[in-house]
Structure 1
Amino acid sequence: MRAYQVKNYNVKAQLCSIPTPEPAAGQVRVKIETCGLNFADLLMMKGQYQEKPVLPFIPGMELAGTVDALGPNVTSPSIGTRVAVFSGQGGLAEYGCFGADRCVPLPDDMPFSDAAAFQIAYGTSHMALDHKAGLRRGETLLVLGAAGGVGLTAVQIGKQMGARVIACARGKDKLAVAKEAGADHLIDSDTQDIREAVKALGGANVVYDPIGGEQFTAALRACNPEARILVIGFASGTVPQIPANLLLVKNISVVGLYWGGYLKFSPETLTGSMARLFEWYAEGTLKPHISHSFPFDQLDDAFETLRQRKSTGKVIVTL
């Protein structure tokens, strides 16, 4: 089968031919149709992610396809079932073997493209806003990086949960995407002072931050008393240093979320969250925004689009 394999962190990944795997006990084999790309894939391929796979490895953290073989003692999901899989790695190949308990059957009307763009982005935002921040109807949610892969889903889910959403992104084109997703107010991080703009709108009760750096600092200083700041990632490349005195004076909580970590200590929490998200998808209230779709032999272009931040919403690869 064809696979995109990282053999060394200092050498560019390559499309190559490797044996098609056979599922072990507890696994199913999936014929992969689509794979969603994430900023974390870029970090993982350079050995800079919080989890380092054993070399060589195949990147691709989330995928969708059809079960085509079962490992020993596995009966479900059955052969022929359309599934989405949070794989952590292995999605950029024609076939992959994954734990049966990581496979989520798809709604009948959900195309593979939507499924590959769904799990990490929507799962992260729902867990952050619902489970971690306890976002309440009528509160003001500030979303940084609001046109990105996870940021755009935070805008959608924030509106679904009844919040007033302030979307912060770079440039008119990206802000237009956030507006279409339901944002009530827009801030251009290229031209506006985030702190002053948010304060002029009454301040923030919850901040969703996949960016870090200076934007984190500006958002912190625009928080209302008892605000909750969700640390999702550091796309800026700078991990912010938090002045604890501001947290104390304003009774602010800073809360981290690593969505994939729940697979190790509370997988049922993720399962419940994903079930709710699929309900919203079936109702038509959530729809992934896919700005770019690439064929398998244009993977380098796909990753460059992600690296250069030319995308809005998700970038997917079709196998």
Structure 2
Amino acid sequence: MTDPFEEHRRLLFAAAYRMLGSVADAEDIVQDAWLAWHRADRASVENPRAYLVRTVTNLSLNRLGSARVVREAYVGPWLPEPLLTAPDIADEAEQADTVSMAMLVVLETLNPTERAVFVLREVFGYSYAEIAQVVGKSEAAVGQCAHRAREHVRARRPRFTTGAAEQRQIAEKFRAACAGGDLGEVLALLAPDVVSWSDGGGGVTAARRPLHGPDHVARWFLGVLAKPEVQGVEMHPAEINGEPGLLLVYGGVNAGALTFDAVNGRITALRLVINPEKLRGIQA
């Protein structure tokens, strides 16, 4: 007989990751939930799935409170931890957008309860009654919270999406332009209002503030790649957080993840994560 925890492990990680934006924290939460499950009187648990999701949600809410304090003191832009995905593990296709870096950045602007309610409602389809039991609020309060979160996300998420095939083409063009050090080609791929965020956590070379405009973004990327200490870095196509992106590989080790948004064939946003402490999710 399959252990209910093992049966739902993937769901639990998916929920925790979307609530926290951190692979390491999500893995810790799943481990803590496993301990709680094995300490529980399982004979009295009528619905193991509901029990486990409630456990993971409560643990994630507790973790979010302390995470905000840490992120306020973070050096440079804070970005979610990237996660390598593939068609068979990126959840259902209609859920792929909910794990994208762009979406996780938006979810970071919600308060902890709104984030948990949004994930349970919009990603996993829980009813207001079920969520109310999970977060310990009335059904009416959950409905209001879900509405606020939904409107908040709708106002901030990218309004236009690019198909996966076109995004792969753009990623390949960007990779080739960077590999060739071709400023003109990089500039041609960037939209006039492009913004770039790089998360190095203060430990590796990264821009301490967002970069705006094609010229600043292109020159920064090419300048970093030209530094002697990063000679030999290669970019390889990969599916990152459910979307085509680029892995930065150095000495055979995945050393960073680059994801982007694009509109009408041009890049509008770049998100580069190179903080070594945030790369667990791209080492698999």
- The verdict on a shared fold, with TM-score over 0.5 as the criterion, is no
- Which is strand-richer, 1 or 2? 1
- Which is helix-richer, 1 or 2? 2
